[in-house]
Structure formats: C-alpha cells, structure tokens
Structure 1
C-alpha cells in the first residue's frame, strides 16, 4: 500500500497539463473559485484509469497498435490545447474572459497520459480483475489526487499572492502553453521512437 501511494504521489505531483491548469486556475481565480476542479480531476482520473485498465487487458493481447494510436491522439490533443492557450494569451489579459469550463478541464484530464501510466505501471495486478481490488485502488487514487490537486491550486494562489506584478494572466497562459506543449512533444517523441524501434 505504501509503495502504491508513493508511486501515485510521485507521478501526480509531476508537472503536466492537469497540474499546470490547476496552478493557473489558482493564480488567476483563487482557491475559492478553483477548488471544485480538484473533484473534477478526481472523477476524470477514476474514469480514465478504469477504462485504461479494462482496455489494456484486451489491447495487450489482441491489438497492441491500438495503444499507440490512443497515445498519439492524446499527444496531438495536448498540442492543440497548448496552441489555444498561447492564442488566448495574445487576445486578452482579462481574467474574466480567460476562464475555462469544468467540462474542458475534465476532458483535458481524461486525455492526460498519466492515467495510462497509472493503469499499466502502478495499479496492483488484481485491480481490474476483482471488485475488491478495484474499489481499494480507486479509493487510494482518490485519496492521493485530492490533496495533490489542492496543493497545485494553493501553489498558484501563493505565487500570485506575493504581489508579483509581472505575473499577469498573459504570462501565466503562455507559461502553461509552453509547459503543456513541451509535455506533449516529449510524449510524442517517445512514442515515435518506440514505433520506429
């Protein structure tokens, strides 16, 4: 159990698209307006890991290329998100015009490749074959996602709350765009390498 929790924390604490958006939301809108995103993130991860866990049981045996195609779609989607964030930074510095919806954040998290890593590398072997194992792991996942997501929002609030005048919505958007774009590029680069080898 301790090894599973530690692995989940290390993976979920790592900067990525979801954490970048949580940080951005905390910095732009504050904790009170952003805390519900943590529960949206939790729901998205539970859904994504559940689907991946079941799918991997079949894809690994019958269609290994399907996994590659799904990873390619996820990486491409993240590049599109990065491009949209960069463009929104050009059009406006107004906070009210830059709020993203809970649905957008949900699907962004569903597309996060961390769910695949959780399902394939961290989840115990009996997670997707027995209900008791499944419920136990999903409760553990939720108990890690909520505090980690909250920490990223608080981090965003803290950075902006120190009176850094240069940290405008434009700067936050472009930083988020670069972080997500780099994450997607690394993912696609590794995917291309694995396909060519």
Structure 2
C-alpha cells in the first residue's frame, strides 16, 4: 500500500469505531463524567496509540527486509484476531453494557489500556503503509492523520457513552450496535485474510 493512498484510514476508522478496551473506557467516562470532563482523556488515548504504533512500526522496519513474509503473516494473524473479536461481540450483545461501564476513568489507566490495545499492532503492522517507517516526512504525515482520526473517533465514543448507552436514543439499542460492530469486524477480517494470503 502506497503512503499516498489514504484509503487505509477508512479501514482504521472502522476498527476504531468498534468496541474495544480503550473505547469501553471512553464510553464509561462519558457516562460517569460527561463529555466536558472526559475530553482531556483524548490526549492520553492519542499518546498511547502513537507510542504503541511507533514501537510496532520499529519492529516491522527492522524485520521486513530480511523476512518479507512477516507482513503477510501478521495480516493473517490480525484477520483471525479481528474475526475472533467479532465473534465475541456477537455473543456479548445479550449482556447489559451499562453494568460494565459505570466507573470513573483515570488518564493513566486509559493510556496504559491504549498502549496495550491489540488494535495498535494491527494498525502499525498490517494497515499503515510500509513506507510510513522509511522517512520522517512519511511518518509525520501518516501519524498526524492517524492522531486526528483517533481523537475524533475517541470523542464520538465519549458522546456514545453519555448519550446512546445512557438510553437516551431509543431507536438504537446497544445490543444492535454490538451486532453491527461484529459484522463490520468480520468484513475487515476477511479483507485482511485475503490480503495476507493472496497479495
């Protein structure tokens, strides 16, 4: 994938929109603290993703010349992982998400959860263009766009927590959202698997 082909951001946006450890904490903060008091958490989310994706990108850059098959292997493993997440979401749709989200979120907790979030591995090693890690200008352009996307979608998760999950929007139940998220994850899992096996 070329660094000038920004379509990878659409895939990243879709994955960022799906429930996960960081998004759960952001939604939780939206419920317990509201939008205004939760907004500062977005900087900790961005920092966590920048640190994690940069570390994984360094690993990729040091291994891709000697072991080019590693990229395809990572895409296949990532596809399987995303498919597993989709399966878990599908079956968890029966549970009441509000029971799990009513906690106060500390910035350091969010940073660590984001740093350890498996999505960062998928972003850095399977979705970011390989050229991202070859020059400072490529890195700055891709990472700048990525951070804007992370902050925007993280803000949506805070709003999601404060509005949708609190039951103020009756036409979309949390269970329906989880099922839609699961279907979306399966779609991108298939994309990664095909990409890793045939390209």
Q: Mapping of 1:113-152 within 5 angstroms?
A: 113=123, 116-118=126-128, 120-121=130-131, 123=132, 125-127=134-136, 140=144, 144-152=148-156
2:65 partner SS: helix
Indicate the residue corresponding to 2:15 in structure 1: 17
Report how far residue 192 of structure 1 moved: 1.9
Is 1:89 matched up with 2:87?
no
Indicate the residue corresponding to 1:168 in structure 2: 173
Indicate the residue corresponding to 2:189 in structure 1: 184
Q: Are the equivalent residues in 2 in contact too, given 1:45–1:110 (CA < 8 A)?
A: yes
Q: Mapping of 1:107-118 within 5 angstroms?
A: 107-113=117-123, 116-118=126-128
Q: Are the equivalent residues in 1 in contact too, given 2:17–2:153 (CA < 8 A)?
A: yes
Report how far residue 109 of structure 1 moved: 2.5
Report how far residue 13 of structure 1 moved: 8.2
Indicate the residue corresponding to 1:130 in structure 2: none
1:113 partner SS: helix
Report how far residue 27 of structure 1 moved: 9.7
Q: CA RMSD in A?
A: 4.3
Q: Are the equivalent residues in 1 in contact too, given 2:27–2:158 (CA < 8 A)?
A: yes
Deviations 1:59-89 (A, max 9, x none): 2310011222222221111111111111111
Q: Are the equivalent residues in 1 in contact too, given 2:26–2:154 (CA < 8 A)?
A: no
Runs of 4+ more than 6 Å apart? 98-101
Q: Are the equivalent residues in 1 in contact too, given 2:90–2:179 (CA < 8 A)?
A: yes
Distance in 2 of aligned mates of 1:44 and 1:115: 16
Distance in 1 of aligned mates of 2:158 and 2:101: 19
TM-score if structure 2 supplies the norm length? 0.65
Distance in 2 of aligned mates of 1:87 and 1:78: 14
Question: Which ranges of structure 2 fall in alignment gaps of 5 or more residues?
Answer: 104-108
Is 1:64 matched up with 2:73?
no
Distance in 2 of aligned mates of 1:166 and 1:183: 26
Q: Are the equivalent residues in 2 in contact too, given 1:27–1:159 (CA < 8 A)?
A: no
Q: Are the equivalent residues in 1 in contact too, given 2:74–2:125 (CA < 8 A)?
A: no
Distance in 2 of aligned mates of 1:188 and 1:118: 16
Q: Are the equivalent residues in 2 in contact too, given 1:71–1:191 (CA < 8 A)?
A: yes
Q: 2:198 aligns with which of 178, 193, 197?
A: 193
TM-score if structure 1 supplies the norm length? 0.65
Question: Which ranges of structure 1 fall in alignment gaps of 5 or more residues?
Answer: 128-132
Distance 1:39 1:145, change over 3 A: farther
Indicate the residue corresponding to 1:47 in structure 2: 51
